[in-house]
Amino acid sequence: MKNLPFLLLIAMLASFSCEKPAPTDLNKAALIPFPKEIFPTHERFCLQNGTVIHVQEHLLPFAEAMEETLEATTNLDIVVERGDITSGPSHIYLELLGDDMDDEGPEAYELNIKKKKIYLVSKSEAGLFRGLQTLLQLLPTTPTEDNHWFVASGVITDAPQYDYRGAMLDVSRHFFGVDDVKRFIDLIALCKINYLHLHLADDQGWRIEIKSWPNLTTHGGSTQVGGGPGGYYTQEDYQEIVRYAQSRYVTIVPEIDMPGHTNAALASYPELNCNGMSPALYTGTEVGFSTLCTSKEIVYQFVDDVVREIAAMTPGPYFHIGGDESHVTALEDYIPFIERVQDIVTKYDKQVIGWDEISHAELREDGVVQYWAMAENALRGVAQGTKVLLSPAHKVYLDMQYDSTTELGLHWAAYIELDSAYLWSPETLVPGIGKENILGIESPLWTETITNMDEIEYMVFPRLLAHAELSWSPAEARNWGHFSGRLVRYAEHLKRLDVDYYASPVVTWK
């Protein structure tokens, strides 16, 4: 008992240790993508054991997920509270506002960090989630000795420039299982990416179970580039991916590439071929040699079944029909094929996205042309009233080598160093395609040369951070020197998450 005064003193010191000098300049925060506006107030908030997250009933699941994330990051004990209890060392208030947050979109949020309280508000849970990513980036990578996590105070008002900020993973050339896709989703969600496009079928493998055409996966999914065992997602697997993505406010865009890039389907069902004969499975990396037989009625039954089954499992608005590099499909066959497939996709209540070649066909105005190679194709889409999704290969293809010494990747479009990935502007890339025509940016990772998660991470990071800033941050907030400086500190978070990123030589790492 005679130790009591001493223990009290220790307890008081512990509670005062949040008063120790700590980061107080919010302007110095290593945020990527950089937010729209920051007003530093030069104090600090302290996240610690017992910090309370306050929510109304309807946000309880969100708050619990947030609690889990904060606890996993810090090892702290965070508390979620529905009432007005005000005890606790510091407080985070979550709130969904009605439509009164100006005319910003649903992902806009405000993070107001005071000494004892943080207010995070948005119109939608997605917006709260984007704000949470900002808060996570504001946390130091290690706490003080007494497990206090300081955050510089101030107000961050933020909203994305573009509604569609995407990444694509090619699971056909090499197959990646559900756990890899989940990690991929976790990592892209950190960068406020909100769409994940899965390239589910190509010459080398069909990766999504279609109940009405089972050979697509049992045969067509049984190999990959280089002849490995391949693999596929059962419908249950796919739904699990969709749900996991939803929990990170990421929308899945499924792609079935057609009429070209279809060798795996053609090998599985002879009736899809004009000569009625199945080719062998393909494990090489050539493109442009396969086509569905566009004059056969059974092909449209096939497409209808595939779109119907996948659309039924896909809550997002888009269905990607591929349409690229159909070099062995005559244009007079290609155009009516795309138009019929567009009708099928529309019948199942989805909007078409396709690679830029699809603009040869007559497109609906709610269609999206994904510009990867030919500006004139993208402009033809714009002339028809469609939006353009920007994936210029020489800037955003994540399978391009960083330079000639990079062991992984290709270089047909360019070598893409980090500065090159960052230094361009979506609005001036193609004369005639302005902000009003652009849906957003998507960074595709093709996987001819990529075989495992480490390799994925190496090609994706840090380039995806550059692209995320281009699609999220306003032009005035973008600056290469500032970005690369932030990246040096941001990399500490990547290390904590064990991300195998490329330490680009154009960045001055400390």
**Smallest distance from the beta carbon of 393 to ligand TNX, in angstroms?**
6
Read off the amino acid at residue 446. W
- Residue 300 · residue 335 · CB < 8 Å: no
> Per CB under 6 A, which of residues 365..384 are in contact with ligand TNX?
372
User: Strand runs (DSSP E) across 329-372, as ranges?
Assistant: 351-355, 368-371
> Considering only CA atoms, which of 174, 171, 279, 268 is closest in space to residue 228?
174
How far is the C-alpha of 324 from the C-alpha of 174, rounded, in Å?
Answer: 19
Could you tell me if residue 160 is left (phi over 0), alpha (psi between -120 and 50 degrees) or otherwise beta? beta
Count of residues of this chain found to bind ligand TNX when the rule CB under 6 A is applied:
10
Binding of residue 446 to ligand TNX (CB under 6 A): yes
Tokens linked to 386: 């469609």
**Smaller CB distance to ligand TNX: residue 90 or 449?**
449
**Smallest distance from the beta carbon of 407 to ligand TNX, in angstroms?**
16
**Smaller CB distance to ligand TNX: residue 96 or 410?**
410
How far is the C-alpha of 317 from the C-alpha of 328, rounded, in Å?
Answer: 30
**Smallest distance from the beta carbon of 110 to ligand TNX, in angstroms?**
38
370 forms beta bridges with 355, 389
Could you tell me if residue 87 is left (phi over 0), alpha (psi between -120 and 50 degrees) or otherwise beta? beta
Non-local CB neighbours of 274 within 8 Å, separated by 6+ positions: 293, 295, 296
> Per CB under 6 A, which of residues 334..363 are in contact with ligand TNX?
355
How far is residue 277 from each of residues 262, 301, 303, measured CA to CA in Å? 14, 18, 19
> Mapping DSSP to helix (H, G, I), strand (E, B) and coil, where does residue 111 land?
strand
**Smallest distance from the beta carbon of 287 to ligand TNX, in angstroms?**
5
324-354 core/surface letters (b: 16 or more CB in 10 A; e: else) = bbbeebeeebbbebbebbbebbbeeebbbbb
**Smallest distance from the beta carbon of 160 to ligand TNX, in angstroms?**
25
**Smaller CB distance to ligand TNX: residue 109 or 371?**
371
Q: Catalytic annotation on 325? A: yes
> Per CB under 6 A, which of residues 279..318 are in contact with ligand TNX?
287
**Smallest distance from the beta carbon of 502 to ligand TNX, in angstroms?**
17
How far is the C-alpha of 94 from the C-alpha of 91, rounded, in Å?
Answer: 10
**Smaller CB distance to ligand TNX: residue 458 or 490?**
458
How far is the C-alpha of 179 from the C-alpha of 185, rounded, in Å?
Answer: 10
Read off the amino acid at residue 322. G
Binding of residue 410 to ligand TNX (CB under 6 A): yes
How far is the C-alpha of 411 from the C-alpha of 434, rounded, in Å?
Answer: 28
**Smallest distance from the beta carbon of 173 to ligand TNX, in angstroms?**
7
Q: Please provide the DSSP assignment of 281-329 as one string.
A: P--S---S-----TT-HHHHHHHHHHHHHHHHT--SSEEEEE----TTS
**Smallest distance from the beta carbon of 312 to ligand TNX, in angstroms?**
26
**Smaller CB distance to ligand TNX: residue 178 or 408?**
408
How far is the C-alpha of 275 from the C-alpha of 262, rounded, in Å?
Answer: 15
Which one of 104, 158, 399, 469 is in contact with ligand TNX (CB under 6 A)?
399
**Smallest distance from the beta carbon of 189 to ligand TNX, in angstroms?**
24
**Smallest distance from the beta carbon of 58 to ligand TNX, in angstroms?**
42
Binding of residue 62 to ligand TNX (CB under 6 A): no
Q: Within a 13 Å sphere around the CA of 206, how many CA atoms are in the beta-carbon half?
A: 23
**Smaller CB distance to ligand TNX: residue 101 or 416?**
416
Catalytic residue chosen out of the listed positions 125, 271, 325, 427 = 325
**Smaller CB distance to ligand TNX: residue 231 or 323?**
323
- Cα dihedral 118, 124, 125, 127 sign: negative
Binding of residue 324 to ligand TNX (CB under 6 A): yes
**Smaller CB distance to ligand TNX: residue 304 or 442?**
442
* DSSP code at position 385: T
How far is the C-alpha of 293 from the C-alpha of 482, rounded, in Å?
Answer: 52
- Residue 365 · residue 386 · CB < 8 Å: yes
**Smaller CB distance to ligand TNX: residue 137 or 401?**
401
**Smaller CB distance to ligand TNX: residue 91 or 173?**
173
In Å, how far from its chain's centre is CA 197? 8
Tokens linked to 471: 């699609």
Residues in touch with ligand TNX (CB under 6 A): 287, 324-325, 355, 372, 397, 399, 410, 446, 448
Give the active site residues: 325
